[in-house]
């Protein structure tokens, strides 16, 4: 198994010294990674928008009022108007990519409408935009100590409080981010 194939369906955890404002203190779920590049969604960067706002923008009826305050996340800086839903794979939606056995990524409006009516997947994260890397770019950033990478865990994506996701994702690797100096080097 190559290094490249091992990065899909993993977390990218921003190192404390990563200064890029798009990614500082973020956790990214890597949806796809190949020799051509990588694509992922930030899972801990909320927008001021909620599902009620998004439904209004899309001209959708919010069938379940309790869904109004569901947060909408900034998935990344690329195509910030494009919606993505990372979810457990219940239901059949247009334009869905299966991500292993327990996650899927859908980019069609039908899933947003189902969620707004309380008929969507059991667990989901709605994001606008995505994080993208060109061929070899992510590997170079990992080698430069910008990121930690490790196995993803749905509990971090869907069940962990927002302000704890960065530290919790790192803790899955046995890393306490508060103990890492932002000034990194190589031994």
- Residue pLDDT, tens place only, 102-120: 999 999 999 999 999 999 9
pTM of the predicted structure, to 2 decimals: 0.91
* 128 CB-near residues (< 8 Å, 6+ apart): 47, 49, 72, 73, 74, 75, 80, 81, 82, 83, 84
Q: Report all structural domains of the chain as residue ranges with CATH numbers, in order of start.
A: 3-79+129-179 (3.40.1740.10)
pLDDT for the residue numbered 179: 82
Which ranges of the chain have pLDDT less than 70?
1-5, 181-187
Kindly tell me the number of DSSP H helices and DSSP E strands found in the chain: 6, 10
pLDDT attached to residue 129? 98
pLDDT at 5: 52
CA distances from 54 to 38, 73, 85 (A): 27, 11, 13
Q: pLDDT at position 90, please? A: 78
């Amino acid at each position: 198994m190559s290094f490249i194939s091992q990065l899909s369906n993993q977390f990218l955890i921003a190192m404390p010294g990563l200064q890029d404002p798009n990614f500082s203190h973020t956790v990214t779920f890597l949806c796809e990674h190949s020799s051509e590049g990588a694509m992922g969604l930030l899972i801990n960067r909320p927008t001021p928008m909620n599902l009620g706002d998004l439904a209004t923008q899309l001209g959708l009826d919010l069938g379940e009022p309790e869904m109004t305050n569901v947060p909408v996340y900034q998935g990344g800086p690329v195509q910030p108007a494009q919606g993505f839903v990372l979810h457990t794979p219940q239901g059949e939606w247009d334009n869905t990519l299966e991500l292993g056995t327990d996650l899927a990524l859908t980019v069609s409006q039908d899933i947003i409408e189902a969620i707004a009516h309380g008929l969507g997947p059991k667990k989901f994260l709605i994001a606008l935009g995505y994080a993208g890397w060109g061929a070899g770019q992510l590997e170079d950033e990992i080698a430069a100590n910008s990121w930690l990478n490790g196995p993803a865990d749905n509990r971090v994506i869907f069940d962990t409080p927002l302000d704890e996701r960065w530290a919790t994702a790192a803790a899955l690797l046995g890393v306490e981010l508060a103990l890492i100096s932002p000034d990194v080097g190589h031994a």
